[in-house]
Amino acid sequence: MLGRFVLVLAIGLGTGNAMAQEVRAINIPREAPFSADAFVTQNVRRDCDLPMKQATDLQDQLAARGWNVAIREGELVDGDGLSLKLEIFGVSSSRAVDAASHHQGVMVNVKLFRGSTAVGDFVASRTSKGGILGLFKSSCDVLYACAKANAVDIVKWLDSPTMKASLSRAK
């Protein structure tokens, strides 16, 4: 019985190592800008650097999942490489009447390009009420948690990207 266990474990580890050696490369923008028609309150624009935070969280999540990430300044990369275009199209930020919890959310449009051809698009949308001790968290802190959750969702989607995809928890 122990022999079978060791064999299965060795096969499993071998498969994992092969996956870990696969190199995936992607270009992402330095920031995820607010869309032209995004409604974002002035205090959120002023106090929370969501465009930078969303892109930074995505970079961190991609690197953690084995992606080779290049930061780009322009729109898309020439050639046939993969590029993401990110745009924050909505931010909700309010406190409950009793101020004991938040109602925060970040919504992001994501488009995947191979060269200049769109090969996938995705809507990432996460909301939060601040969780335990939400009363002691700033609105920016809760929005940052939403941005990080969006980054995790985007990276999951990149495992098998499709058009018109969504892994949203926001309704």
Q: Write the DSSP string, 120-169.
A: EEEEEEEEE---TTGGGS-HHHHHHHHHHHHHHHHHHHHTS--TTEE---
Position with higher pLDDT, 14 vs 117 = 117
List pLDDT tens digits, range 22-66: 569 999 999 999 999 998 988 899 999 999 999 999 999 999 999
Higher pLDDT, 125 or 104: 125
Q: How far apart are CA 169 and CA 156, in angstroms?
A: 14
Enclosing H/E stretch for 61: helix 50-64
CATH of region 23-166:
3.40.50.10610
pLDDT at 162: 93
Q: What does pTM read for this prediction?
A: 0.79
Average of per-residue pLDDT across 141-153: 94
The structural domains of the chain, with segments of one domain joined by +, span: 23-166
Higher pLDDT, 6 or 56: 56
Q: Is 43 helix (H, G, I), strand (E, B) or coil?
A: helix
> What pLDDT was estimated at residue 35?
95
Helix (H) or strand (E) holding 47: helix 42-47
Band the pLDDT of 20: cuts 50, 70, 90: very low
Residue-level pLDDT at 138: 79
Q: Reduce the DSSP state of residue 30 to 3 states and report it.
A: coil
Nearest CA-CA partner of 140 in 51, 64, 63, 79: 51
